[in-house]
Amino acid sequence: MAQGRNSFFIIILLSLITSISSLKANDNAMGLGIGTTSCADFLNNTIEIRNDGELTDLALFKRIEYLQWAHGFMTALNIRHYEKYNIFKNMNSIKEFKDLYNEIVDSCYYIMKEGKPNEFSVATFLVFDSLGKANYQQF
């Protein structure tokens, strides 16, 4: 009997939280994530420098946020690559966040220059696709 009341209370609480949180939701941003960000936004959000030459706290936080997303995306791509080809791509060359950031920046410049879809996810995919290719160039 007590367990039934607890379950009822939890259901009511979750319903209340869900209804309140939907009131504050911004309709323009629903369902959009880091992967849909343009390369220009990615670059602008991650390069702001303080007067002392260091990244601002916000730019550093954004850089880490983007790179964590990219690492997760590339890990998922690597799992799919293994399912298809029975081998993982070696991701050691982008193991460090600094290296991954530089590769994505290069990819962003490449896709903006070539007129390809200007999305952060596309730039990240290009970095993943280039892993292990000897003829990959930086742009």
pLDDT block averages, 10 residues each, the chain of length 139: 56 54 44 83 95 94 95 95 94 92 96 89 95 58
45 domain residue, yes or no: yes
Q: Which domain holds residue 98?
A: 31-130
**Token representation of residue 35:** 């992967």
Does any domain span residue 113? yes
Whole-number pLDDT of residue 133: 77
User: Which positions ≥6 away from 107 have C-beta within 8 Å?
Assistant: 122, 123, 124, 126, 127, 139
Q: Is residue 104 part of a domain?
A: yes
Looking at residue 15, its pLDDT comes to 56
Q: Model-level pTM greater than 0.85?
A: no
The answer to whether residue 58 sits within a structural domain is yes
Q: Is residue 80 part of a domain?
A: yes
CA 42 from centre of chain: 10
In angstroms, rounded to a whole number, what is the distance separating the alpha carbons of residues 34 and 17?
Answer: 25
Domains contained in the chain, number: 1
Tell me whether residue 13 is in a domain: no
Residue 16 identity:
L
